[in-house]
Amino acid sequence: MKNEDVVKLFDSYADDLYRFAVSYVGSRHDAEDVVQDVFLKLLSKNLLFDRRFEKSYLLTITANKCKDLLKSKARKTSVDLESEEWHLEYYEGFTDSDRAVFDELMALPEIYRAPIHLFYYEGYSYKEISRILKISESAVAMRIKRGKEQLKIRLEEET
């Protein structure tokens, strides 16, 4: 892939990939590393993919990088120096209630965060999410359902 093609992809999708990675790994710094790894992979390999599905393909690579990071031994033994407050610079325009929902989403286990993010924030269908996360459609539906139930409980506890 040519450098200028990667730059165009970065300009078009870096923010979306970052938001997805934050929702998946739960850390702003780790999400930045994941997005960087995705674009380095594009630069280093001669990858060909259908331009109609480029965002979906990039989200799939991002999901795989997130899974790898969460499995890594270094990640499990490191200490996250981030504050508990989420940095939502990419979510300008959120109302206070939007931020409260997002904060509670980020407190959910990662198994629920990624499908919910892809469905509600990125607008993907269950079928598309199943391809991106490499899980069955029924698993996507169940994770979204259970995640929503947990979100509802957490939000009701706040009020």
Q: Sort 114 into a burial class: Cβ within 10 Å, 0-12 / 13-18 / 19+.
A: buried
Q: pLDDT for 28-63, tens place per residue? A: 899 999 999 999 988 887 766 677 788 999 999 999
The residue length of the chain stands at 159
Query: Which domains does the chain carry?
Result: 1-79 (1.10.1740), 93-159 (1.10.10.10)
Q: What is the DSSP letter of 53?
A: G
10-residue mean pLDDT series, the chain (159 residues): 82 92 89 93 76 87 92 59 47 71 84 92 93 94 96 84
Q: 3-state class of 127 per DSSP?
A: helix
Taking CA atoms, 129 is separated from 15, 45, 68, 118, 121, in Å, by 18, 25, 18, 7, 12
Q: 3-state class of 27 per DSSP?
A: coil
